[in-house]
Structure 1
Amino acid sequence: MVMTTAKSLILLLLMFAALAAGGRTKMLRELESNNDGDGMCKQVVETQGYSCEEHKVTTEDGYILSMQRIPAGRSGAGKKRGPKPPVLLQHGILTDALIWLDMPPDEALGFILADNGFDVWLANVRGTTHSSSHTSLSSNDPKYWEWSWDELAAYDLPTMVEHVYRQTGQKMHYVGHSLGTLMGFAAFSRHELLEMVRSAAMLSPIAYMGQLPSPLARAGADIFLGDAFYWLGIRKFNTQEKEGPSSKLAADICTKMNCFNVQDLITGPNCCMNTSRPNFDKQQPTSTKNMIHLSQMIRKKNIAMYDYGIIGGNHKHYGQTKPPAYDMTSIPRDLPLLLSYGGKDLLSDVKDVHTLIEALSNHDRDKLVVHYVEKYAHMDFVYGVNAKQVVYNPVMEFFKSN
């Protein structure tokens, strides 16, 4: 009995991030099984009455990324004379651009922005279903998965931002959720992309994670579960492969308990999610190394590049014993920032967000907007039925003022 309980706990902890990602509708599950390069536009966007373009971009290290563009609203809604302000939407971990479309048009941010006069661009980072190609590596090659969010911030984000800038000739607004905010913070702290970004709205901002209150997420980090996977040679973290180790663990967990309730234990008690969606049974893959990097942030209570260890290669990679830090205080004080966070969020928790706000204390007062939603948890910001009124309308006002 003790062994069974211990096994179940370990399996549960391993899945802390996977179960936090949210699910998909039946249509989106079918879409993800059909990686034809234009499925997202044809099956999700155009069926709702919007025009849509598919774009492909290649990072400096060879990853081929998929992007979608919604240049106008339904039946021409949102059209106006002159160029429309572009906005790039960056998803978080274990999700993709579908997270901005996985609601009715009046509730999904991607559609709402298009209907309100924005030129909408959707990002999909490496490893996700529609960004699984490389110039020389197969996604079945372990080398394909040798990356963490360092590479997402250093390669994926700049490549997509530069593409939007070249296509539109304008500086863009940026929206990140969860890990998408960390990617932005990392780039901005190094004074990168600033000549192409007009403002940034960070939903459920992730920067500091040292005070993370989720007991499952913290325990999963503290007992080095991701590291154990990596040591076993498992470079791809994917709960959806039928015979894969991650999916077997997920299946074991979800036969023992309600996965919806587990998600609330990890992300916080989401108040306002669209409960008509099915159980949370579909996530996008990421790299095991990415999971390890996040757990390092929790354990070490800092924001730094991936720690290879003194023996493992910090000297080789960085020329020093410790990985370089990302300094949030170096984010330019005149960059317009909106931080929208929830009082019930266990991943982007209140204490860690306050630490971030303190780090930005020298920011120009008229350039930093702090938006607190007491009842919201992590996934309410993208799946809340009232998110348009509570979050998205203030985001659009922020954009229009910048």
Structure 2
Amino acid sequence: MAKKILLTLLSIFLVCILEAQGRKSLYSMNGKDELPVFFPSDHSDGICKSMVETQGYKCEEHKVTTNDGFILSLQRIPAGQSGKIADKPPVLLQHGLFSDAMIWLFNSPDESLGFILADNGYDVWLANTRGTRYSSGHTSLTPSDKAYWEWSWDELVSYDLKACVEYVYNQTGQKLHYTGHSLGTLIALAAFSEGEMVNMIRSAALLSPIAHLNQIPSPAIKFAANIFLADDLYWLGLREFNLKEQDASKLLEGICKIPGINCANLLTVFTGPNCCINSTRIDVYLDHEPQPTSTKNLIHLAQMVRTGDIAMYNYGDQAQNMQHYGQASPPVYDMTSIPNDLPLFLSNGGKDTLSDVNDVAVFLDDLKDHNKDKLVVLSIDEYAHVDFVMGVNAKQVVYELMIDFFNHN
């Protein structure tokens, strides 16, 4: 039994590392046999003061409370570096798994999407999902409570995303453009498929779109999903999964000593061979990321890898599903129900092993009836998963085309 538990812990860590984007230990062992233990730094001043104002931009900190009690932080960049107030509609940026809003700000202002949009006249809003450092508040719970972590991406759809979109819409009085990366695309697509918030959305840009997941090429991810590893961790009582905890770093050190595992290539194994990341920004990344998520969220994603379905969380037996949904199996998010006249910009990478080209092709087939003049698809052969948010040439390769799309919608 102990051996099985150890295997479970080691393997699920490999799964959970899939978006620990840019982590130094994934690139190099620095000539040492041991991996360093990483601890979170104290950034009590918040994202505005630590990442935005330091670059010469105005920034506002906002808070919004979801209907289930989570207190989320949003940052607003209302003007460009020149000081000119935004004269274009709001844009809400939504990060992916193990990230927060910092992911849009790590590179220089002429390379980071948050700053680029502000300098192009857009009213920029940055979302931070529940459980991340600056969205760790709750009206009655604390992160040390197991109940605090009883959520999956279903709740990000029905509570977090809804609260953020409604808040920006009400604050600005305007429909907004939406930009999501990875998990940030999945929650938007799920919401759109149910007709949620589409009356407040001008258009959506989906970078490394995640929908169907069963064709992910990584053997490690498929192995972990197929033997229910995250489920075992949940059974053992682990509700929060935090890659910055000391035990997790020791776990990674143990994994790296297993024959055949090359830690220098783990990022490539899980995200694909990113072509264009600025390695000089890795220390900045480590100072802020990766962020925690819930084990239940990982279970939900693993269910998608196993089945290929885009469905609500499966509680594992018909009785529990009946209790939660009134039916024996979880309801599906029907991608064909996304409004055909909703302007969509999709960009995927040919080397991306998370938003795999074959899975993206299945999703595009879901959109076969979408109005042709409302759908733009941009495939970038050399890009992998992380390039879309940290690539030094992403402005020229992706963002300028995306901004042109926004300008016409």
TM-score, structure 1 normalization: 0.92
Equivalents in 2 of 1:356, 1:92: separation in Å?
A: 19
5 Å matches for 1:34-53? 34=42, 36=44, 38-53=45-60
User: Of 350, 354, 377, which aligns to 1:347?
Assistant: 354
5 Å matches for 1:35-184? 36=44, 38-76=45-83, 79=85, 83-184=87-188
2:16 alignment counterpart = 17
Equivalents in 2 of 1:63, 1:181: separation in Å?
A: 21
Identity of aligned residues (%): 59
Residue 76 of structure 1: CA displacement? 1.8
User: Any idea what SS the aligned residue of 1:200 has?
Assistant: strand
CA contact 2:72–2:129 (8 Å) conserved in 1: yes
1:205 maps to a residue whose letter is P
Residue 129 of structure 1: CA displacement? 0.4
Residue 210 of structure 1: CA displacement? 1.3
Unaligned runs of 5+ in 1: none
User: Of 335, 339, 349, which aligns to 1:332?
Assistant: 339
2:359 maps to a residue whose letter is D
CA contact 1:24–1:102 (8 Å) conserved in 2: no
2:31 alignment counterpart = none
Equivalents in 2 of 1:9, 1:104: separation in Å?
A: 40
1:300 maps to a residue whose letter is T
CA contact 2:43–2:50 (8 Å) conserved in 1: no
Residue 255 of structure 1: CA displacement? 6.2
The alignment's C-alpha RMSD in Å is 2.3
2:368 maps to a residue whose letter is S
Equivalents in 2 of 1:388, 1:65: separation in Å?
A: 28
Paired residues, number: 390
Equivalents in 1 of 2:101, 2:168: separation in Å?
A: 15
1:15 maps to a residue whose letter is L
CA contact 2:39–2:244 (8 Å) conserved in 1: no
5 Å matches for 1:2-401? 11-12=10-11, 14-23=13-22, 33-34=41-42, 36=44, 38-76=45-83, 79=85, 83-242=87-246, 244=247, 246-254=248-256, 259-278=263-282, 282-310=289-317, 313-401=320-408
Superposed CA deviations along residues 345-384 of structure 1, whole A, max 9, x for unmatched, are 0000000000010000000010011100000000010011
Equivalents in 2 of 1:10, 1:136: separation in Å?
A: 30
- Please say which of residues 311-320 and 157-166 is displaced more in the overlay: 311-320
Superposed CA deviations along residues 13-41 of structure 1, whole A, max 9, x for unmatched, are 5322324321479xxxx9963353x4210
- Mark the CA change 1:259 to 1:118 in structure 2 (over 3 Å): closer, same or farther: farther
Residue 225 of structure 1: CA displacement? 1.1
CA contact 2:106–2:281 (8 Å) conserved in 1: no
- Please say which of residues 268-277 and 123-132 is displaced more in the overlay: 268-277
1:270 maps to a residue whose letter is N
- Mark the CA change 1:255 to 1:115 in structure 2 (over 3 Å): closer, same or farther: farther
Unaligned runs of 5+ in 2: 25-37
- Please say which of residues 309-318 and 6-15 is displaced more in the overlay: 6-15
1:249 maps to a residue whose letter is L
Residue 205 of structure 1: CA displacement? 0.1
1:67 maps to a residue whose letter is L
Residue 300 of structure 1: CA displacement? 1.1
Equivalents in 1 of 2:319, 2:279: separation in Å?
A: 45
